[in-house]
Structure 1
Amino acid sequence: MSVSSAETGSAANAAGGRRTRSWIAVPALAALVLPGVAACGSSGSDGAQLALTAALPDKVPSGTVLRLGDPSVQAALKASGLQQELDDQGVDIQYANLSGGPETIEAFRADKLDCGSVADIPSLFAAWTGTSTKIVFESVTIDPLKHPIYQLGIAPGVSVRRLADLKGKKIAYSPGQAQGALVLRVLKQAGLTKDDVKLVEMTSTEDSYVTALGSKAVDVAPLGGALIPEYAAKYPGGSTIYTGIRDDASTLYCLTSSVQDAGKAAALKKYVVARTKALLWENAHPDEYAKAYYQDVEGLDEADAKTTLEQDGTRGIPANWDNAIDRLQETADLLSTEQGHDKLDVATIVDRRFEKIEAKAAAGDVVRGDAS
């Protein structure tokens, strides 16, 4: 049976399903918003170990529990009926209403979560900060440059019409989040360096970037999804511009120890199949999905839910993960250079056993080639 720790609330940044764009604040560990998981008192497994090179098992042992932070897909599974199919297969999921890097990494370290939906940056920072994880799901955006996750929010009274205009501006910068990597990519594309701007370090939580723009604490900040109409409504003098940079990385990553647990690995195999079908269901049922997630969970009105979904575009399942891994390596190399991290071979944080499972579940709906 599926147990949800929260039916409503704000989900995090670019999730591993349809992109979710707002952030929830990181609570103290003692108050981490995982009541359903905490009540379990353990990871919900008999502990049978599975080698990372072994075939994924099919049988889910009784008593196995998957603890997932995957809010947007959770809504799609419920609305589509796919959650019932998982229940019927004996896949016991305890959902937590969180996703994104800071929340999931903190939950991983507290052993309160098995997997979380994120963009590409959290898996890198997990590795750099000593938390071993594996990416088990990749999805992409069809025509990603036409449907970016983020736009650059411009503070009222500030003139930025093209990327070169960023020179000398105060830019919100969160080093450990996808927004921070985007800022570095934007500067590189504009032919600017960090010395050409003033980076204002701040974590993107809830509408912190919106508030910072509105108060002119910063001149520029990346905004995504529900935050874009929110910003326009709260600060009519503000504006947004497109970056022209692909930013559609969307994954599900898990604790390595969870993937090495034979029971959890079997349950995760079934979840990846259902998750794939849920994303395709979203594409085929946009109105139902907008209601189930953007209205009922994110709290948008019908018009803003429709606008946000249109901004998202259509999600696709790649035929293979080659291009996604190449892009992740480029990002890791950029952050290593700009932020002083150790060099990282991203192949070590990707579990490609799930690659064919995902593509098979998508059948003819895979994205051939996944153009860079």
Structure 2
Amino acid sequence: MLAAVLLPVLAGCGGGSGESLKLSAPLPDTVPSGTQIRIGDPSVQAILDASGLGKQLTDAGVDVQWANITGGPQSIQAFRGDQLDCSSVADIPSLFAAWTGTSTRIVFQSVTVDPLRHPTYELGTAPGTTVRSLADLRGKRIAYSAGQAQGALVLRVLQKAGLSRKDVTLVDLTSTGDSYVTALGSGAVDVAPLGASNVRIYRAKYPRGGAVPTGIRDDAATLYCLTSAVRDAGKAAALKVYVAVRARALLWKNTHPDQYAKAYLEGTQGLSAADARAVIADDGTTGIPANWDNAVTRLQRTADLLAREQHHPKLDVSTLVDRRYEKVEAAAAGSRAVTGDAS
């Protein structure tokens, strides 16, 4: 049956099979010999090493070429240079890839169980800045990266606070490494969205700085890939294996927080043992959704907000998700898959 939907493609597909797979075709079960998949997924890479689950990839013939890349700007640049097939990101990069002419598909979704109690971001506040709640944002300089999750969060925060872009000064600044930490500490901005590990770093470096919760769901986490990768039969088969193993890896992280903290937060991110434990406590539990319905609904709302606020064309986000992989990750999670994920 599969042979009926396989067609020759041009060479130079970065270790693919050389056969094209229609996006409507079933995912192949066998990974052709010599298939490589280039993935930027540092935290999961660390989990696979620490847990031993990486053996499931090699046993299935999946050759992962790891890239120390994550986040929208880096991944889109690598996609355009044909240096990467997939990357772990929030939901915004898939939208900006579409708006800037790079065709991608989301192949993995995860959620945070009880996301409002365990937010991904807080609003870091500069030393001496009197921001105690969202109402205090009026007139403030806020770090803003249009193509990243942090940028969309800023727009949602303003919306919740009843403010518009005209009520604040948005300072264009891409969030890479500790750039937002430095901008806050130096007084270049008054407010910046900071992830959990960066909140710890910021407070350690600048004790007079602060952070306030947003009260907004911000737990979107995906793996997105070049459309050309999921159209390559070999890479699509390799991704089918990877998506299943990735689901098991994230569930392993839930039950082995100390090993994860040591392998990734300390070993890769450079956090102290105490800060790593604090981040684990803040992170909460990762859930594998039984289906993607609510995630797609949230993504559409975000796309509509960004289209309106940033003057992009309207976008149907169903064209950005490859729901063939939806059942793959849910099956890997089994009875531990999260049902009723609130939108």
Place the TM-score, normalised by the shorter chain, in its bin. over 0.9
* 1:359 matched residue in structure 2: 330
For 1:282, the equivalent position in structure 2 comes to: 253
Deviation at residue 42 of structure 1 after TM alignment? 5.8
Is the counterpart of residue 229 in structure 1 residue 194 in structure 2? no
Q: List aligned pairs for 1:336-355, cutoff 5 A.
A: 336-355=307-326
- Could you tell me which of 83, 90, 94 is aligned with 1:119? 90
Q: Quote the offset at 1:46 in angstroms.
A: 2.9
The residue identity in structure 1 corresponding to 2:262 is K
Q: Paired residue for 1:265? A: 236
SS in 1 for 2:236: helix
Long gaps (5+) in structure 2:
1-11
Give the 5 Å matches for 1:163-202.
163-202=134-173
- Distance in 2, matches of 1:288 and 1:147, equals 20
Offset of residue 137 of structure 1: 0.2
Shift, 1:371, TM fit: 1.1
What pairs with 1:60-79 in structure 2 (closer than 5 Å)?
60-79=31-50
1:215 counterpart residue number: 186
The separation in 2 between residues aligned to 1:318 and 1:286, in whole angstroms, is 20
- Could you say which residue in structure 2 is the equivalent of 1:102? 73
What amino acid does structure 2 have at the position aligned with 1:140? V
> What is the alpha-carbon root mean square deviation over aligned residues?
0.8
For the pair 1:303 / 2:271, whether they are aligned, the reply is no
Decide which of 312, 315, 332 is 2:283's aligned counterpart. Answer: 312
Q: Which amino acid aligns with 1:173?
A: Y
SS at match of 2:174: coil
In 2: Cα distance, 1:79 partner to 1:348 partner: 35
Give the match's secondary structure for 2:288: strand
Q: Equivalent residue of 1:353, what SS?
A: coil
Q: What secondary structure does 1:298 align onto?
A: coil
Determine whether 1:369 maps to 2:340: yes
Indicate if the aligned counterparts of 2:94 and 2:104 stay in contact, CA closer than 8 A: yes
Distance in structure 2 (CA, Å) of the matches to 1:200 and 1:192? 16
Letter in 2 for 1:239: G
- The one-letter code matched in structure 1 to 2:188 is A
Q: How does 1:150-169 map to 2 (within 5 A)?
A: 150-169=121-140
**TM-score (normalised: structure 2):** 0.96
Partner of 2:105: 134
CA contact (8 A) 2:17 2:235 kept: no
What secondary structure, in the 3-state scheme, does the structure 2 residue paired with 1:52 have? coil
Identity %, equivalent residues: 68
Measured after TM superposition, the shift of residue 290 of structure 1 is 0.7
Match of 2:3 in 1: none
2:62 corresponds to 1:91? yes
In 2, distance between residues paired with 1:115 and 1:107?
10
User: Higher mean Cα deviation, 349-358 or 201-210?
Assistant: 201-210
Change over 3 Å in CA distance of 1:42–1:344 after alignment to 2: closer
TM-score (norm 1): 0.88
Aligned residue identity for 1:188: Q
